[in-house]
Amino acid sequence: MTVVLALALFTADKPDFDKDTLPSPRGEATGKSVNGKSLADILDKVKELWPKIEFEKDGKKVEYVVAFDTDDGPIEIEFFPHHAPKHVRSFLALAYAGYFDGLPFHRCIRGFMIQGGCPLGNGTGGPGYALPAEFNSLKHERGILSAARTNDPNSAGSQFFLMVAPAPHLDNQYSVFGHVTKGMDVVDKIVARSPPGSERPNPPCKIKKVTVRKKGEAAPGAKQDGEKKSP
């Protein structure tokens, strides 16, 4: 009886895409990524990857590093899964699936932040699902990664923003789930693409390629044909 109960508890705690996400306020996955990949195929891959992304294994933390290769240079990001596990899992699954490859930072505001992750490149698109809010005690300081959303707190999807300066008015209103560990100089270059007083970069900076590795692994520079490893 004890064994059956323990198994039931373990099963209930296992990540499940259908239980962890919400219907998207934007409807189905919108548009195609800039490099022409089918978003329907990417969404299928995200669902496959979802339960495989682990934040703990054999009693040890599993930490991930995402590297953006952008037009302006490399950016590396690490995560806060204990504060926002669904947002971290979603971001990693999308990255592994190639969702962000070719997408631009479509909104850049000097002294504030840069925003990307829209498959349409204009801030209106999403991956076809939404995430429940995971507001937490982490502050929107320089270098923070947070989830963009509509007026509905439970509407974050694939769009994200990187802070270039503190913004206390966002604290506890948006889900912080990571931070830049390398490449803040690149973030500064990207935000400078927008003229003063504008939020439209001219031209936008594209994310050419995204790679994911577990912390402690060698950087994936030697990979063939841009192939991404799975979790």
User: Residue range 76-91: average pLDDT?
Assistant: 98
Residue 186 reports pLDDT greater than 50:
yes
Mean pLDDT (the chain, rounded): 90
User: Residue range 9-20: average pLDDT?
Assistant: 74
pLDDT at 1: 41
Q: Which residues contact 218 (CB under 8 A, 6 or more apart)?
A: none
- pLDDT per residue as tens digits for the range 96-154: 999 999 999 999 999 999 999 999 999 999 999 999 999 999 999 999 999 999 999 99
Q: pLDDT grade, residue 228 (50/70/90)?
A: low
Determine contact, residues 106/121, Cβ cutoff 8 Å.
yes
Closest alpha carbon to 125 in 153, 101, 103, 98: 103
pLDDT at 4: 46
CATH class of 20-216: mainly beta
pLDDT at 9: 36
pLDDT at 30: 81
- pLDDT per residue as tens digits for the range 154-181: 999 999 999 999 999 999 999 999 999 9
DSSP state of 153: T
Residue 10 reports pLDDT greater than 60:
no
* Alpha helices (H) in 50-183, listed in sequence order: 85-96
- pLDDT per residue as tens digits for the range 41-70: 999 999 999 999 999 999 999 999 999 999
pTM over 0.95: no
DSSP state of 164: S
Cα gap 86→82, rounded to integer Å: 10
Question: Domain coordinates of the chain in residue numbers?
Answer: 20-216
Radius of gyration over every alpha carbon of the chain, rounded to an integer in angstroms: 17
pLDDT at 7: 39
pLDDT at 171: 98
- Match 């204990």 to its residue by tokens: 82
User: Alpha carbon 34 to chain centroid distance?
Assistant: 17
b/e for 2-39, b at 16 or more Cβ within 10 A? eeeeeeeeeeeeebebeebbbebebeebbebbbeebeb
Q: Which residues contact 196 (CB under 8 A, 6 or more apart)?
A: 110
pLDDT at 83: 98
